[in-house]
Amino acid sequence: MPTTFQAMVVTETAPGQFQRAIVTRNLSDLPPGEVLLRVRYSSLNYKDALSASGNRGVTRCYPHTPGIDAAGEVLESGSPDFSPGEAVIVSCYDLGMNTPGGFAQYIRVPAKWIMPLPAGLALRESMIYGTAGFTAAQSVDRLERHPVLPEQGKILVTGATGGVGSMAVAMLSLSGFSVAAATGKPEQEQFLRDLGAQDIVSRENSIDRSGRMLLKEKWAGVIDTVGGEMLATAIKSTRYGGAVTCCGNAASPDLPLNVYPFILRGVSLIGIDSAECPMAVRLPIWEKIATTWRLPNLERLTTEISLKELDRHIECILQGKQRGRVVLNLDA
């Protein structure tokens, strides 16, 4: 086993100034933990970009290696649950936040953060889904269990070309829903239609600033990834008895809204968290990703990169310009 490896390290060079570099690290730099993993693939999520740019809400201490997702093989295990050679996924919990993460060829983590690679999924494929795919799958699952049914009408997905959004469009479509995709990237209309979107809604037309408390009922359900005025507009436009999932704040953490959609239309707002999602919930969702929501068009929404190319993709996702999913190949 080599004693050194490559990792992205983010360093605070002056107060509030952060620099990213690919550096050689020693295995002895990793924190104590039960299981040492050789990471083969990771992925880029919005939260990684925040960690990689010094956001203290995500990462308190620097120098730091981001990467909330990792897939690879067990090298050493102090846990009876995992054996050397086993293919596994670590996604969320504290990985990449305040624990050195998957933008590195090795990680060491507690066994309770690890899950076996679901049967039928390859390591690379699992990281194309990653946290974004898992969050999209959780959101679709919660709508279905509400229940919101395909015959009740269209589902709106906001931030539709992003990681969570694009996965949600594709999974909803596989589940038989008619999908309206709200996007700020009109040039990506064909990309969204290829994933299964039937309608494309511009970002401007997804935000109502009239001040009206309720709007015309349009959506049977909504998967929101952006928050702010767009989420408020979507909730006000949800049909009687419908449901709206909320997982992100790509536009804003605010929610300028009154209670009328809830008390006059019985609309439900469902919070989605992937970071601390317990294994008992996590495993069945991944099982569905590997079966029901295994996307036939996965490569269409995937960009594969090496560690050296990561920096520019971090800038891209911070500017809201990312399309689909970026998978990081740690052997490239």
Ligand X SMILES: NC(=O)c1ccc[n+]([C@@H]2O[C@H](COP(=O)([O-])OP(=O)(O)OC[C@H]3O[C@@H](n4cnc5c(N)ncnc54)[C@H](OP(=O)(O)O)[C@@H]3O)[C@@H](O)[C@H]2O)c1
Neighbours of 291 (CB within 10 A): 12
Query: Which residue, 54 or 77, has its beta carbon nearer to ligand X?
Result: 54
Query: Which residue, 76 or 194, has its beta carbon nearer to ligand X?
Result: 194
Three-state SS for 207? Answer: coil
Query: Which residue, 75 or 269, has its beta carbon nearer to ligand X?
Result: 269
Query: Which residue, 34 or 125, has its beta carbon nearer to ligand X?
Result: 125
SS3 content of the chain, % helix, strand, coil (to 5): 30, 30, 40
Query: Which residue, 77 or 99, has its beta carbon nearer to ligand X?
Result: 99
DSSP per position, 118-158: PTT--HHHHHHHHHHHHHHHHHHHHHHHTT--GGG--EEES
Task: Find the shortest distance in angstroms from Cβ 193 to ligand X.
Answer: 13
Task: Find the shortest distance in angstroms from Cβ 190 to ligand X.
Answer: 13
Query: Which residue, 26 or 55, has its beta carbon nearer to ligand X?
Result: 55
Task: Find the shortest distance in angstroms from Cβ 132 to ligand X.
Answer: 5
Strands 69-77 and 17-26: unpaired
Query: Which residue, 25 or 154, has its beta carbon nearer to ligand X?
Result: 154
Task: Find the shortest distance in angstroms from Cβ 303 to ligand X.
Answer: 11
Which residue type sits at 23?
Answer: V
Contacting residues toward ligand X, per CB under 6 A: 45-47, 131-132, 135, 159-165, 183-185, 203, 225-226, 230, 247-251, 272-275, 317, 320, 322
**Residue recorded with tokens 């479509």:** 173
Task: Find the shortest distance in angstroms from Cβ 45 to ligand X.
Answer: 4
Task: Find the shortest distance in angstroms from Cβ 157 to ligand X.
Answer: 9
Task: Find the shortest distance in angstroms from Cβ 188 to ligand X.
Answer: 7
Angstrom distance (rounded) from CA 104 to CA 86:
19
- Cβ-contact 231, 158 below 8 angstroms: yes
208-245: buried (b, 16+ CB within 10 Å) or exposed (e) per residue? beeeeeebebbbbbbbbbbbbbbbbbbbbbbbeebbbb
The residue number whose beta carbon is nearest to ligand X equals: 162
Which residue type sits at 135?
Answer: T
Q: Could you tell me the CA-to-CA distances from 81 to 86, 88, 158, 284 in Å, in that order?
A: 10, 11, 39, 18
